């Protein structure tokens, strides 16, 4: 997806390169085994995130995690979880092509996200993830820094969400 970067002094919107992306469903009692298979200690608290090198895990529900890794790691991760299946019930679904990641950053990022997200994101700690909506589209929102977020958007909603973010960024930049 080659979308242009919209960048102003106060906020920027950019489409990030693809990653290997998985949805993992597993019993909380089996987090240790899944952590070993993935190579990152999975967070146990809903909304929690954990990173190690180019891998990240975000807890989205009591038995659900969003996993990210380098594209080249997709097959080895699948293989590790295939091996885990013999002893530990779980579901690992590759969702790499389902979603596109949009990065938004800058001192006005909270204003930008407030144009479509009903949550008070100033209360969201850095490193956390949250399933929410942007306008009417479901997204997973990840806070990477005080003024940096990523939105995981389903491919079918991408044109709508990306378009709204670009319009809002322009409006913020000219002071509307």
Residue spans per domain, the chain = 6-16+98-173, 20-94
**Structure-token pair, residue 60:** 């989205």
DSSP 8-state class, residue 73: G
| Residue owning tokens 């079918």 | 156
Whole-angstrom distance, CA of residue 94 vs CA of residue 13:
26
Whole-angstrom distance, CA of residue 100 vs CA of residue 156:
9
pTM for the whole thing?
0.92
- Residue 90 near residue 26, CB atoms below 8 Å: yes
Class of domain 20-94: alpha beta
pLDDT digits 0-9 by tens, 55-114: 999 999 999 999 999 999 999 999 999 999 999 999 999 999 999 999 999 999 999 999
**Structure-token pair, residue 65:** 């995690």
**Structure-token pair, residue 143:** 């806070």
Domain 6-16+98-173: CATH superfamily is Probable tRNA modification gtpase trme; domain 1 (3.30.1360.120)
């Amino acid at each position: 997806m080659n979308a242009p970067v919209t960048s102003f002094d106060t906020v920027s919107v950019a489409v990030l390169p693809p990653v290997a992306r998985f949805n993992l469903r597993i019993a909380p009692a089996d987090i240790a085994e899944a952590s070993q298979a993935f190579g990152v200690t999975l967070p146990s608290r809903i909304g929690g995130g954990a990173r190690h090198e180019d891998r990240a895990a975000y807890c989205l529900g009591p038995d659900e995690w969003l996993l990210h890794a380098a594209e080249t790691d997709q097959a080895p991760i699948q293989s590790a979880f295939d091996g885990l299946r013999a002893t530990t019930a779980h579901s690992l679904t590759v969702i790499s092509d389902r979603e596109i990641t949009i990065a938004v950053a800058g001192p006005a990022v909270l204003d930008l996200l407030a144009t479509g997200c009903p949550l008070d994101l100033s209360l969201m700690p850095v490193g956390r993830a949250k399933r929410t909506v942007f306008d009417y589209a479901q997204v997973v929102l990840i806070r990477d820094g005080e003024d940096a977020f990523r939105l995981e958007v389903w491919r079918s909603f991408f044109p709508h969400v990306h378009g709204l973010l670009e319009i809002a960024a322009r409006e913020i930049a000219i002071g509307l």
